[in-house]
Chain A
């Protein structure tokens, strides 16, 4: 089949608009496995095997760089101890690590089962009606409901 329309009579701008519409449609139509096309553009790189290692070394090198730059900068602070080179770096690292590591003992100390207070609850009424209903985990109360 050949296209009989002469080239010079085609609406070039119309074709551009159509193409743009198709691209836009393609960009917000998820694939069959439910993956959004934009996610590949924005976050596709996170799926590469090397990403974890690259982030570790990248952040590590950036950290070292920031401390080295600090050597060259003569900072004036209201709190004198903060004038030490790398003070903020050390404080940030130590605070973060302390908070996270405290998660182990605190979790053991304070975490209880989800129905500890007798009612684990569930999703609120205004969620997407298409979401499959979760199994009802709320306790039953024998003194409620239909009276026999």
Chain B
């Protein structure tokens, strides 16, 4: 039995539970299942043997690897499953079959994709994450959410189509679909796969689906969405494009540009969406530095550790903003403030998430980010390293200070609400516990940050790295404390820009305004020009018909006897001439 169970891809279990949950009206049984499934899945994956194809299938002549676990997929899968568990607890107060079912199926699709060993299986679950997650946005029920969800679905499906096209080329050239690293972007299909993954990882200019849709999702939906899609793309990049130079610069740009948008954004869930972009940038950059195999293990360890910690602390931050939204009906910074008075526990958990993402020593972000920073520095990429350091101060600004300060402190909005429901507090408490537990020094060997390092793809190299050196702690504290000092000073001088309501334009303007405008303009023009063109067409064809009829019809010019005789004579002369010509040339 154990042998059979260890062959079951845990993602499928979650998807099956999601399908059952869709049709299960008994609320508590349904929610109990969504909590039990990730726990069972964690047990399943820990039973599985590593580095062998556990389950394969042959379909249409393709060898498909449905379940394969190795050190890289294990840490991503584990993070996804922990997130699924926390999300299910966070959703306990709701009674929504569709949301419960789709949340767990979405998590399942991400896990199944992570543990797939060939590109076709990856593609199937890649698309399933899109189809299941869109309901978490739709479920918000607003008109804005409806349109955002359609744009989201369009972009996600486009990613899937590009991936499939890339897979086609890969199969043609390799004759095999097993997931392995591309040596260069010039390989057949590599560029298509790269862009497909880039869309899901929210590369610059391909990123706006994220900021457009996540803040419009339901309270629970935004928390669920924050964990899976982008990190699945990070995993796929680590698998297929490690050491790809382009990723270094793309990642570095990704860390820097969202910082500026996050400063002026008023919706705090959208600030978190920009922050997500920035964090994924660190991981992408690390993957670009790391090379497959024996190369720079430090960087790939950094990407994996960062993804694990990020899934938990970003989830925690989205949970805390979800709790605020749940109780106050808004996450606009201009309408919030002073909530610590009525939501002290949420405040504390949010601060723990904020300190983790800002990489304060003793919190998870520090243990993870140090690996990436060291790897980039070690490679001698000074400009990239400075960009990442700049972005680290930026993270402190928008996620470390802005989120907790404007929601819970700052100007008192006078809102006095109830503390978040107990299940939300429990989920936030567990996430906060993980943030601290993997961030503290390993006083007891194997615990603290060592627990996390033990799970990393290159375990021995990870265990040889020590984040808690005097140099590290001192420099990180310098960066953070002086940045906080800048905040305090700018606030005191009144130079900190006030939070104002409004929409901040980003690259989605090109399709939401310019593209849409062009389409409607074309429509209007066509409405007016169309009938005129049709009239011209009919007039022209009518005239042509009349001419043809005048010439060829039985009553027409050409049908008259005289001309017909003349025509026959001329035809005979021409044919004779051609015959003569051919004789001459042949002779």
Interchain CB contact (< 8 A) of B474 among A73, A97, A101, A107: A73
User: Judging by beta carbons under 8 Å apart, are A35 and B260 in contact?
Assistant: no
Which B residues are CB-close (under 8 A) to A89? 478-479, 481-482
Does chain A have a CB within 8 A of B19? no
Decide if B478 touches A86 in the complex (CB within 8 Å): yes
Cα-based distance from A103 to B354 in the complex (angstroms): 21
Q: Is the CB of A125 within 8 A of B218?
A: yes
Determine how close the nearest CB of chain A comes to the CB of B138; give it in whole angstroms.
Answer: 10
Report A-chain residues with C-beta under 8 Å of the C-beta of B315: none
B528 interfacial contact with A, CB 8 Å: no
Number of residues in B with C-beta < 8 Å to the partner? 86
Q: Is the CB of B394 within 8 A of A95?
A: yes
Q: Restricting to A90-148, which residues have a CB under 8 Å from any CB of B?
A: 90-93, 95-97, 99-104, 106-107, 110-114, 116-117, 119-128, 130-132, 134, 138
Give the size category of A's interface with B: 35 or more
Answer yes or no: B50 CB below 8 A from chain A CBs.
no
Interface pair A93/B485, CB less than 8 Å apart: yes
Stretch binding the partner chain, chosen from A1-9, A17-25, A62-70: A62-70
B452 within 8 A of A: no
Does the CB pair B326–A76 fall under 8 Å? no
> Please, how many angstroms separate the alpha-carbon atoms of A111 and B115 in the complex?
43
Name A122's contact: one of B142, B340, B470 (CB within 8 Å): B142
Contact mask for chain B residues 398-427; partner A; CB cutoff 8 A; 1 contact, 0 none: 000000000001000000111100000000
User: Cα distance A35–B386 when bound, in Å?
Assistant: 44
Q: Give chain B residues whose Cβ lies under 8 Å from the Cβ of A121.
A: 142-145, 216
Shortest Cβ gap from A72 to chain B (Å): 10
- Contact A111 to B500, CB < 8 A, known contacts A34-B417, A60-B485, A100-B490: yes
Chain A residues with CB below 8 A from B416, complex form: 30, 33-35
A133 to B, closest residue via Cβ: B329
Are the C-beta atoms of B505 and A82 separated by less than 8 Å?
no
| Chain A 21-76 interface residues, beta-carbon cutoff 8 Å to B | 28, 30, 33-36, 38-39, 42-43, 46, 52, 55-56, 59-60, 62-63, 66-67, 69-70, 73, 75-76
Binding site for A on B (CB under 8 A): 94, 96, 99, 139-145, 147, 216-221, 259-261, 263-264, 325-330, 340-345, 347-348, 374, 377-378, 380, 382, 385-386, 389-390, 393-394, 396-397, 409, 416-419, 470-471, 474-490, 492, 495-497, 500-506, 512-513
Which 5 residue pairs across A and B have the least CB separation, nearest first? A34-B416, A121-B144, A78-B377, A124-B140, A125-B141
